Amino acid sequence: MLLQGKKLLITGVLTPQSLAFGVAEHAIAQGAEVILTGFGRAKSLTERSAKRLKPGTEVLELDVTNPAHFPALTEALRQKWGRVDGVLHAIAFAPEDALGGNFLNTPWESVQTAFRISAFSVKELAVACAPLMTNGGSIVALDFDNRQAWPIYDWMGVCKAAMEATVRYLARDLGPKGIRVNALAAGPLATVAAKGIPGFKALAQYWGKQAPLGWSDKDSHDHVAKTACALLSDWLSSTTGEMIHVDGGYHAVGAPPVETVETPAEGVQANPTPKDG
């Protein structure tokens, strides 16, 4: 199996609708051992989801805004497993006033919160797990491609762009240790997090019209989860610092297909034939 014997830390599981839950589910099916993280009141949701994955699946405390939690995570993983082979970073958050067309008015305090949770935490998680990745390994960060500006996404888009840069720098610094670091850029998916983004439904509906392979915000979770498992495996052993797209091909096409061709104006010849001389 693709992940036989691998020990994977997976963050970001809340409910079975979470994309991270799908990754964990496929990873277990492919032979991996999995530990989840959660924190605060939401940890009970993670623990409930863990039982649906596999009885006995452990949930460790990790609040990425609490610096003390990272060394505690390292020690807990050391005692439980002694090593880690792969990590999924699936954590992102932006306050309401950092989304939905409020870009010019968002205060620094909200931007700071979004950046710490959505971008800086990738570095913190990598630093916490790298000492345990003694045989090399793979770190995968869930992403939404932000090489261009999007409607409604605002400061979360800026944070995702920062996360993409962070992935490249981590790939540079951790590569000599045999640790690969990649971003997985998915198209819009119906998750708990997506419900908090104003205008998400409109974006998701438009996406399927442009993506050459089509796209469903409800049915494409499986495609993303399988790709994440491939990245966490040994099969992409020389791929690092990349942004891997699982978006139906949307990123490769500049605009939706032209549905109709306008009729040339009267007296104008369409595709005129060149004349000699």
CA nearest to 220, candidates 249, 197, 195: 249
**8 Å CB contact between 222 and 16:** no
- Contacts of residues 104-108 at CB distance under 8 Å and 24 or more positions apart, as own/partner, are 106/154, 106/155
Known catalytic residue: 160? Answer: yes
Catalytic residue among 6, 7, 43, 153: 153
Position 108, amino acid: W
What is the spatial order of strands in the sheet that 33-38 belongs to?
Answer: 59-61, 33-38, 7-10, 86-89, 137-143, 179-186, 243-246
Catalytic residue among 7, 43, 160, 250: 160
Query: How many secondary structure helices (H) and strands (E) does the chain include?
Result: 8, 7
User: Vertex 125, ends 123 and 128: CA angle to 5°?
Assistant: 110
Q: Active-site residues: which are they?
A: 153, 160
